[in-house]
Structure 1
Amino acid sequence: MSTPTLHVIVTLLAAAMSGYSGAVVLTRADWIVKALTDYRVPQPWWPYLGTAKAAGAAGLVAGLFIPPLGTAAGIALVLYFTGAVITVARARWYTHIPFPLVYAAPVVAALALA
């Protein structure tokens, strides 16, 4: 498989995962409401957090056509998920730290392949 093809596949995977992650926050799925509450994330922030992930996903896809936009979206998502790791650790839910890392991994891979 060529590197450009792999880049497109990984970028679309990262966008799908980030978009899904944003959608569950925006639709307030029961399991994410419980997690955000457990992590002590203020409820007024939730729409902004979901929108940020959804925008990052859209930016990754747009970046396939406008590479600087994809790079900016990827960097923003990496920063977002780094903040999520810090939030989970601050709440002392150490066993949950891998979850934001799973979402960050394909974003990092997409940036590396760009």
Structure 2
Amino acid sequence: MFTAHVVVTVLAAAWVAFSAVSVFARAAWVVEPLAEYGVPQALWPWLGAAKTAGALGLVAGLFVPAIGLAAGIGLVVYFTGAVATVLRARSYKHVPFPLLYLAPVVVAMALA
């Protein structure tokens, strides 16, 4: 079970880190929906920083479980907020995207 936890946690952290890099790089497929949802451009670097901290925290949690738990909780709150933002913008076709990032984080926490 420990091996599964490590693999899922590393993959979840990599997936969240990819999302953070996409925000920092201002990939069109990320920032265009953010603008469409009404998320102010001034917040985008903070969103990327939150994802980066969460990804690093998940990996650190393999060595210090309390850090991983805190990072996991933070990411769950972050991506739940992302789902709420998408729903508030009535962009229902985009709801699965934040869920694709939320799911591996939840699984990693469940395996911890």
TM-score by length of 1: 0.96
- Match in the other structure for 1:59: 57
How far apart are residue 53 of structure 1 and its match? 0.2
Within the candidate set 15, 36, 44, 1:17 is matched to 15
How far apart are residue 33 of structure 1 and its match? 1.5
- Match in the other structure for 2:43: 45
Q: Which amino acid aligns with 2:10?
A: L
Between the two proteins, the alignment pairs up a number of residues equal to 112
Question: C-alpha distance in 1, partners of 2:31/2:83?
Answer: 17
TM-align CA RMSD: 0.6
Runs of 4+ in structure 1 deviating by more than 6 angstroms, as ranges, are: none
- Match in the other structure for 1:88: 86
How far apart are residue 25 of structure 1 and its match? 0.5
Which digits, 9 at most, give the CA deviation of each residue in 1:13-65, with x for residues without a partner?
A: 11001101111001111221211111110100000000000110000000000
Percentage of identical aligned residues: 62
- Match in the other structure for 1:74: 72
- Match in the other structure for 1:103: 101
Moved more, 26-35 or 96-105: 26-35
Q: Which amino acid aligns with 2:71?
A: A
Give the gaps of 5 or more residues in structure 1.
none
Q: Which amino acid aligns with 1:61?
A: V
